[in-house]
């Protein structure tokens, strides 16, 4: 197990995955959360939605996960951004997070980013 190879999945809201966002990079490791809108067994592609934004999730490498429409799921994986085509998250981790307080989750992400920025600042000073 090479710990340096596995990057952390940065916490990102689906609405933030716009081309202008610093998280919108090919191969970026991110963690996303959303309600399962649809799932195709043939293609293993799931579509999750949160706050009006959607994202395709490639779930072919996931094991031991059952998909239920309208349940909330969290995925950690790498962004694939084709030149012509829809952005897909190639998931390596997936879990059901039914019961999560999404409002609290998003507020907490904002607090965490400020805190983590302070950690980086304190390291450099």
Partner 1 sequence: MDASRYAHVKLLAADFLSLAVSSSAPPTISRRGRPIYRAEFVGVVVSRDRRPKLLRFLIDDGSGCVPCVLWLNHDLLSKSSVFASGDDLAASAARDHAGKVNLGVLVRVRGRVTVFRGELQITVKDVLVERDPNAEILHWLQCIKLARDCYDLPLAAVTKV
Please count the residues of this chain forming the interface with partner 1, following the rule CB under 8 A.
34
Q: Which of 82, 119, 121, 125 binds partner 1 (CB under 8 A)?
A: 119
Q: How far apart are CA 65 and CA 35, in angstroms?
A: 15
Q: How far apart are CA 36 and CA 75, in angstroms?
A: 11
Task: Between 9 and 34, name the residue whose CB sits nearer to partner 1.
Answer: 9
Question: Judged by CB under 8 A, does residue 104 bind partner 1?
Answer: yes
Q: How far is CA 37 from CA 19, 46, 56, 89, 109, in A?
A: 23, 8, 10, 15, 23
Closest CA to 46 of 88, 16, 102: 88
Q: How far is the CB of 61 from partner 1 (least distance, A)?
A: 11
Question: Judged by CB under 8 A, does residue 97 bind partner 1?
Answer: yes
43-82: which residues touch partner 1 (CB under 8 A)? 62-65, 74, 76
Instruction: Enumerate binding residues for partner 1 (CB under 8 A).
Output: 1, 3, 6-11, 31, 62-65, 74, 76, 92-95, 97-101, 104-105, 108, 111-112, 115-116, 119, 122-123
């Amino acid at each position: 197990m090479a710990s340096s190879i596995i990057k952390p999945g940065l916490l990102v809201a689906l609405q933030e995955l716009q081309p202008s966002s610093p998280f919108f990079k090919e191969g970026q490791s991110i963690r996303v959360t959303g309600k399962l809108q649809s799932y195709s067994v043939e293609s293993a592609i799931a579509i999750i939605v949160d706050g009006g934004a959607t994202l395709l999730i490639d779930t072919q490498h996931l094991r031991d996960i059952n998909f239920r429409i309208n349940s909330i799921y969290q995925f950690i994986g790498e962004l694939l951004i084709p030149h012509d085509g829809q952005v897909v998250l190639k998931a390596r981790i997936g879990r059901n997070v039914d019961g999560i307080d999404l409002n609290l989750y998003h507020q907490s992400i904002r607090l965490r980013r400020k805190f983590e920025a302070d950690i980086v600042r304190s390291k450099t000073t």
